[in-house]
Structure 1
Amino acid sequence: MPKKERDVLSFLIKHRNQVVTRDQLIHNIWGIEFNGDERTVDVHIKRLRDKLQTSDLSIVSVRGVGYKLEVNTDE
């Protein structure tokens, strides 16, 4: 897994079950001086979702706000 994907996943794990905005991810992962497209976050999220398909973790979109990492428990 590439470093930025690991960084995004790590940040989401630290904030699991909380909604995290794109701006929070950009600021904390890429840094305050990031000068790229905020859709970069979406690409990393998509790749992480693909990799997490067989795990108990899922990244949920919260429309108009950001993303939330959920732990799926089948009890």
Structure 2
Amino acid sequence: MRYEETAQLENPRSSVSTDMMVGTALYTLAIGVFFVVFGLRKRQRWIVFWGATMVVAGAAYVVAIALGVDK
């Protein structure tokens, strides 16, 4: 039994918009800053590490969007 061949869409629509991704990046950036401050106050290096990682990831995405890398 063979499957019916259908035409493939060239650019299928995404269910996630760029605005949603930017919002998530900004949220990640804010939570990361909170984790860094909280981790430094409580002397928990692992929280500082994860917070710094979140800050770097969120900032990198926001900068990439600002520079127009996604286009």
Scaled to the shorter chain, the TM-score interval is 0.3 to 0.5
Compare relative contact order (CA 8 Å, sep 6+) and give the higher one, 1 or 2. 1
Question: Which structure shows the bigger proportion of residues in helix conformation?
Answer: 2
User: How does the TM-score come out when normalised to structure 2?
Assistant: 0.35
User: How does the TM-score come out when normalised to structure 1?
Assistant: 0.34
Larger radius of gyration: 2
